[in-house]
Structure 1
Amino acid sequence: MRIISTIVFLSISAVLSRGVEKVHDLPIQAVSVAGRLFCGDEPLINVPVKLIDRDHGRDRDDLLDEKRTDDEGKFHVTGGTYERGTIEPALKIYHDCNDENVKCQKRLFWHIPQKYVSTDLHQIPVFNLGSINLELGFGNEKRDCRH
């Protein structure tokens, strides 16, 4: 039984080590997003912003970067990953604009256009989301208690 366990362990280790080597053969793809968030006339301060690579099926989304908005409501997230195909970058924003007393935060989700994905880490174009008033409300907002 111990021999079988050892063989299984060595087989899994060999597969994993080959997989790690292949990851470095894949191109790194990076994306950068900047913007400013408001609730009415007030900047949204300390709001979590996540840059992710959307995955499908059993794969979990990859977190590329995570920041919080500053005292002026500004954020800038940049991240990258090794991926066999083209990454599908997206932005998640968690906020309480106009509903601070409601359980859980609103979660916004936006896809980032592919033209902002770069394999040149020295020149990553920035997708400028601009200034957004989240008081407006968006059709894709959902409640999220676990982010």
Structure 2
Amino acid sequence: MFIRFALLFVLALAFCEGAENATISKNILGIGRMQSVAVSGRLICQGSPASNIKLKLYENEILFDRLMEEGRSDSNGQFRLSGSKREITSIDPKLNIYHKCNYNGLCYRKFTIKIPKDFVNTGSQPERTYDIGTLNLANRYSGESTDCIN
């Protein structure tokens, strides 16, 4: 009877779609494959380097996005972030950029850049880096919002 209960519990974890249980089952049971991604670029604000800009690399999840790495742009506005995650399906990475270029509010302007699937690879170290190029934070971007809790 105990063996049946244990087997049922393990199977429930393995096939559960809830965020916490799915993470537990992937980590304990080793389900899925390790995948990694990297993104780089340069940020400017009206022609000057945008230094110390907060950047977060996430795996886009159904309920709660999972932070893979967080960083800031350097004195030249340049950055590079990378991260990895064990997942059954292909990971869906995105980069969130939080800044105050041309903005005097209490919160931050925020926009998201989705990273193409071509730049996701198997393994814990990324093989290629998605270069977003140079972005002027003074511009308005599709889906841009304000964020006070970043």
Cα RMSD, aligned residues only: 2.3
Match of 1:108 in 2: 111
- Alignment partner of 2:138: what SS? helix
Question: Given the superposition, is the C-alpha separation of residues 123 and 68 from structure 1 closer, same or farther in structure 2, using an over 3 Å criterion?
Answer: closer
In structure 1, C-alpha distance between the alignment counterparts of 2:112 and 2:45, rounded to whole Å: 17
TM (normalized to structure 1)? 0.82
Unaligned stretches of 5+ in structure 2? Answer: 1-5, 14-23
Distance in 1 between residues matched to 2:105 and 2:126, nearest whole Å: 42
For structure 1, the 5+ residue unaligned runs are 1-10
Map 1:24-63; keep pairs closer than 5 Å.
24-56=30-62, 59-63=63-67
Q: Deviations over 1:80-123 (max 9, x none)?
A: 10011111000000000111x21200001111000000004455
- Structure number with larger C-alpha Rg: 1
The answer to whether the aligner puts 1:66 opposite 2:70 as a matched pair is yes
What's the counterpart of residue 21 of structure 1? Answer: 28
SS state at 1:28 partner: strand
Runs of at least 4 residues of structure 1 off by over 6 A? none
Count of paired positions:
133
Shift of 1:137: 1.3
The percent identity for this pair of structures is 32
Which has the larger displacement, 75-84 or 113-122? 113-122
Structure 1 residue 31 displacement after superposition = 0.3
When the two structures are superposed, what TM-score results if normalisation uses the length of structure 2?
0.80
